[in-house]
Structure 1
């Protein structure tokens, strides 16, 4: 069995959806027959210091979009707004202003049936972590992946 086939045999994402994870993620992570529950707990946590409340987008002038969001940070609800060319630019600006500084080093999306899976490699203070988000909306999938990355890096 070649190395790629061996990796797929232990990849919980491949086992569930029949699609391989991004190559760089596969190469960097030791799977050790991780279950789907363990995989989502590790790469798409639903708990952490940051929770998404709402996310909306409206067209603005000059090809830009006005994004509004609410986040739960501890016991506090904060409202954020940014007008940018895309949701990830808006989100990272909002997170930065809320004290969750991260850099996105790698970004991958795959269509899985009716959903989009987004994988991001994020960094904060020299620590790098992969995260994942899934949603029927590709933009929300990306937002969920970045928020998961922020939660992993800011625990």
Structure 2
């Protein structure tokens, strides 16, 4: 078996959906026959200091969009707003203002049936983490992936 076939055989995402993870993610992670439950727990945690409450988008001037969000941070609920050209730019700004200063180094999306899987590599102070979000809406998938990454970096 060649190295690529061996990687796919141990890749829980490929085993479940028949699609490969981003190459750099495959190359950086040792899978050791990780189960799907362990994979989602590792890359798409549902616990952490940051939780998304709501996300809305509306028209603004100059081709930009006005975004509003509510987040839970620990025991505190905060509301944020940003007017930008895209949702990830808005989310990055909101997270920065809330004290989650992360940089998105890599961004990948794949359509899997009726859902979109988003994979991001995020960094803070030299520490890097891959994370994933899966949702029927591509924007929400992206938001969930970035929030998962922020929570992983906050550990």
Distance across 2 between alignment mates of 1:50 and 1:14: 29
Shift, 1:59, TM fit? 1.4
- Give the match for residue 56 of structure 2: 56
Shift, 1:85, TM fit? 0.2
- Give the match for residue 93 of structure 1: 93
Distance across 2 between alignment mates of 1:154 and 1:81: 22
Distance across 2 between alignment mates of 1:140 and 1:4: 31
Shift, 1:80, TM fit? 0.3
After superposition, the CA RMSD in angstroms is 0.4
Unaligned runs of 5+ in 1: none
* Secondary structure at 1:62 match in 2: coil
Unaligned runs of 5+ in 2: none
Aligned pairs for 1:85-124 within 5 A: 85-124=85-124
Deviation digits for residues 114-138 of structure 1, max 9, x if unmatched? 0000000000010000000011110
TM-score (norm 2): 0.99
Shift, 1:88, TM fit? 0.4
* Secondary structure at 2:41 match in 1: helix
- Give the match for residue 19 of structure 2: 19
1:35 to 2:35 alignment = yes
- Give the match for residue 3 of structure 2: 3
TM-score (norm 1): 0.99
